[in-house]
Structure 1
């Protein structure tokens, strides 16, 4: 490889940062905040633990970065809610898995989850029509959190018995519309 073909230091640094965040998401999802270690994250990312600390400064800062969830505005409420239900039935991205797994025991996770859910309520309430939009938005967001926990963490038996298409259809109908 010639010098012209070799990635720049900035590109190498960005690639290392991405590998570290991906590894952190996987470790936090698999083991939670308390049991995930900087050493295991570094090993998974193929970097030295010192590089993890150089990029993030602390385990808590790395956790906050790893569980960042990007928000989006709600243009079509019904389609969006059905899309979220389908996504929650399919599986969880590592950052959401880590966040939900740790939200009751790790203050950083609680703060991140609260901020994310508050943002979801505000966005959804702004897009809903009819009376009690904010209350309906809050209940919809909490119902989706319950679906996430019931299916992916508690592994409720009902999700083995009822086809996902039926769960999605019923959940979508209940979460959208003025009557809920």
Structure 2
């Protein structure tokens, strides 16, 4: 077994600092100098390992939604389980918060968010939808609910949305996500 290289620790420190800084400041206001200061390293090391802020953001924004295995979930609970899962992921990881903040003003971040949802939610929708040809539309509609709620709760901090407890949020969102997964349009 090989010992970890010192550069592995530096890279990890940079990514941790970048995720926190992008989450706190958004893409536009986060700087390489601030990220380097947060990681207690020289800014030249950030540039050495990642090249520029866009590449650093792309590395920091690698994100696995860790979606649950929906095959193990009763069909009538699919919407609730997905909403519960997303609420837990949003509350437990600053990377998603950084992504949504950055995505509203920076095209690379928006593209990263699109890719994450298409690559990870799309296959779930394809497996569960009555017509797999509608999977991309269904995944996009699910994203409208999940991302819209996250934007209003965690970024804009709309008081009625922030005030919702987890159960109330699930109760409001789950039926819509359930419909997007299983219903035929217009029915």
Which consecutive segments of 4 or more residues in structure 1 shift more than 4 A? 71-74
Cα shift at 1:16: 0.9
Q: Which residue number in structure 2 is paired with residue 3 of structure 1? A: none
Q: Which residue number in structure 1 is paired with residue 172 of structure 2? A: 170
1:8-47 equivalent positions in 2, closer than 5 A: 10-47=4-41
> 1 or 2, which has the higher helix percentage?
2
On the 8 A contact 1:100/1:113 being kept in 2, the answer is yes
Please list every run of 5 or more consecutive structure 1 residues that lacks an aligned counterpart in the other structure: 1-6
Normalising by structure 1, what TM-score? 0.82
Q: Which moved more, 1:121-130 or 1:20-29?
A: 121-130
Aligned match for 2:60, one of 44, 66, 82 = 66
Please list every run of 5 or more consecutive structure 2 residues that lacks an aligned counterpart in the other structure: none
- Cα gap change, 1:161 to 1:122, in 2 (>3 Å): closer
Cα shift at 1:92: 5.5
Normalising by structure 2, what TM-score? 0.79
Query: For 1:159 and 1:104, how far apart are their aligned partners in 2?
Result: 19
Q: Which residue number in structure 2 is paired with residue 99 of structure 1? A: 99
SS at match of 1:105: coil
SS at match of 1:176: helix
- Cα gap change, 1:74 to 1:122, in 2 (>3 Å): farther
CA deviations on 1:112-141 (whole Å, 9 max, x unpaired) are 112112223422222214247523332112
Q: How large is the Cα RMSD of the aligned pairs?
A: 2.6
Query: For 1:95 and 1:160, how far apart are their aligned partners in 2?
Result: 19
Aligned residue pairs, count: 172
User: Which has the greater radius of gyration?
Assistant: 1
Cα shift at 1:109: 0.8
